[in-house]
Amino acid sequence: MFFFLLPRRLYLLLFAFLAFSLTSALAQNSTTSCPLDFTVLQKLVADSKPINIGRTQQCQYLKNGLRLVQSYYLQHNNSFLPPLDSAESCWRAYQTFLNQYDTNFDVRSSCGFNTSWISQGCMNITTRAQFESRIPKSSMDNVAAVCNQSLENNSPCAACTASLTSQLAYLPGPSVGNLSDCQAYPAIYAGAFLNRYGPTDRGTAKCLFLLDLDPKKSGHKKKRVMTLVFVILGLGLVIIIGGCWFLRRRYGVLRRKRRRDSISGGGFRMGLNSGLESITDSTNLVKFTLDEIREATWNFSRENLIGRGGYGNVYKGALPDGSQVAFKRFKNLTAAGDASFVHEVEVIASVRHVNLVALRGYCTATTPSEGHQRIIVCDLMTNGSLHDHLFGSAKKKLSWPIRQRIALGTARGLAYLHCGVQPAIIHRDIKANNILLDDNFEAKVADFGLAKFTPEGATHLSTRVAGTMGYVAPEYALYGQLTERSDVYSFGVLLLELLSGKKALGLSEEGQPSPVTDWAWSLVRKGRSLDVIEDGMTELGPNDVMEKYVFIAVLCSHPQLYARPTMDQVVKMMETEQSIPAIPDRPISFVADMEDIERSVSSSGSGQLSSPSGYQLYKFETDRRSSNFKDEGSSRPSSDSRPVETL
């Protein structure tokens, strides 16, 4: 009854105050506070040197920083993502942190991130238990074995990140947004639980989350460095002024000394050291001492010798942390040998892929008794090379599933070299000896001593011919014209070896050279594609799949460049149901007999080849003889000037 006795105006004011209070309370409860702790990222950044990041890389860098914070959140709360109702407050907290460095950059609008993405991720996986239920324990143990250490250096980091890629097969997706997608989950989990130092360690942040957080240098140290620089400059000026007169008198002696240094390669060795130091600084490779390698290989014991080649010998050994590695010891220690050594280190250090051999480090040393030592250190492949299993003393033939895995792994590694790095890399020496196999018979492409970087925009390179007889593409052997399709040809020959168990180049009954490519093609054109498959192979696959691989091998090893697919296309044909394109007829070989020549002439106008499984082969048409088929700067020759297949 008291309210009814109040004046009307006071009653209205009281009602308005109550409505405002209720609205404010609802607004405050509509958004839950953010559980993510951005102070861990702020502390790392505050203690690190400033970095310059372009606008194009800024969004990716900020995304990686958010993943580090989520890894810290997972470590303490067993949850990958904050609740959805806290998404807005989490973005505000992250924006507040970013405003300390750039007040004009709005992370959501500038990078195109939706508000809900910060609380959404891969396959509706939000908790630690859900993630662990999808990943086999064996895979988790393998990752923990290589990631539970300091990841500051490149060698353990490369081994850790390579093992993480194996878990992606168990996370096929889909992902909501791109902040915490399926590719990021293994790294977020590894940083939280599989690395002893945790996600806030500088090495872990740099390796798993790609955050360049080098510690700051103290101001006192900078002052000492500057003082030392001025002292050195002053002394240098005095030495230069005082030494000019002396150098003029000694010019003749210095000229003779330079000539001797040039002959002995001394000048080149200075370039060698500076080149390797540059590579080490940019990749964090480990520079091993000769004593460390002697201890690991039992002083290069014969018992540890696992391979020989024109470049030198390969030894197995164990590092102090127990990891098994291989040491490639160069023996051509001239100026040319040093050039090959630096080139191989540069190529392997510039790539990282699960189907490429990972470089751990190198060693350069000089001893009075043994001279110059040049050694490359890589992961040890316990199953040796593909050549060992196809043509060595292996007692058991490889099964079809293993051969299929090796073929696909090799194709993926080459596709990465051709399309996954810039500039592209042409291997130039794909063969069975250079395909190494790990514990699970996963293929690793090795030996980059002949590899070439492709200049941007170039369709081909003109260079001296290098490689192994039987694997070299015809256009490269005849004209020195090198393209990525040259590697495709070598891969086709390798795939035929893998399928048939026959060597790339053998001898016929008449003692003539007999390339495996000619032998396989003769069976394919007769409709006997499955006869290419090696007798006695265990666990045979479906006929249509094995026949498909035969056709891929024949297509890749086609003597005419325009007919070959790219390695990206090869991977798609192997991984999917994508059909194989028509296979053009082949030019007449140097060693063709009269029967083959007559068959080629009789079929060139109207002949049509097809396989029992329905793969449509190439059909010559008279109206195509004057057409130009261009591919990578090369044109298809007319029928009047058909190239002859080289051996």
Q: Centre a 10 Å sphere on the Cβ of residue 529 and count the other Cβ atoms it contains.
A: 23
Query: What does DSSP assign to residue 563?
Result: G
Give the amino acid at 118: I
Contact call for residues 213 and 202 (beta carbons, < 8 A): yes
Q: How far apart are CA 342 and CA 270, in angstroms?
A: 12
Preceding omega of 423 cis (within 30 degrees of 0)? yes
Give the CA distances from residue 288 to residues 126, 276, 320, 365, in Å, rounded to whole numbers and listed in that order.
43, 13, 12, 10
With CA atoms as reference, report the closest residue to 435 among 366, 374, 372, 504.
504
Q: What is the enclosing helix (H) or strand (E) of 550?
A: helix 543-556
Cross-strand pairs, 608? 619
Q: How far apart are CA 436 and CA 577, in angstroms?
A: 28
Q: How far apart are CA 391 and CA 504, in angstroms?
A: 11
Give the amino acid at 269: R
Q: Which tokens belong to 166?
A: 């194996």
Contact call for residues 278 and 354 (beta carbons, < 8 A): no
Three-state SS letters, 88-143: HHHHHHHHHHHCCCCCCCCHHHHHCCCHHHHHCCECCCCEHHHHHHHCCHHHHHHH
Helix orientation angle between 516-525 and 484-500, rounded to the nearest 10 degrees: 70
Backbone dihedral angles phi then psi of residue 313, each to the nearest 5 degrees: -115, 160
Q: How far apart are CA 37 and CA 364, in angstroms?
A: 46
Give the amino acid at 113: F
598 by DSSP, 3-state: which?
helix
For 134-188, give the DSSP string: HS-HHHHHHHHHHHSS---SHHHHHHHHHHHHGGGGG----BSSSSS-TTTHHHH
Q: How far apart are CA 436 and CA 382, in angstroms?
A: 9
Q: What is the enclosing helix (H) or strand (E) of 25?
A: helix 8-29
Give the residue numbers annotated as catalytic, written as ranges.
429
Cross-strand pairs, 645? 589
Contact call for residues 533 and 611 (beta carbons, < 8 A): no
Q: Which tokens belong to 631?
A: 């591919």
List, in order, residues 6 or more apart from 531 with CB less than 8 Å away: 523
Give the CA distances from residue 414 to residues 411, 418, 457, in Å, rounded to whole numbers and listed in that order.
5, 6, 19
Query: Exposure of 601 by Cβ count < 10 A (0-12 exposed, 13-18 middle, 19+ buried)?
Result: exposed
Q: Centre a 10 Å sphere on the Cβ of residue 136 and count the other Cβ atoms it contains.
A: 12
Q: How far apart are CA 514 and CA 296, in angstroms?
A: 44
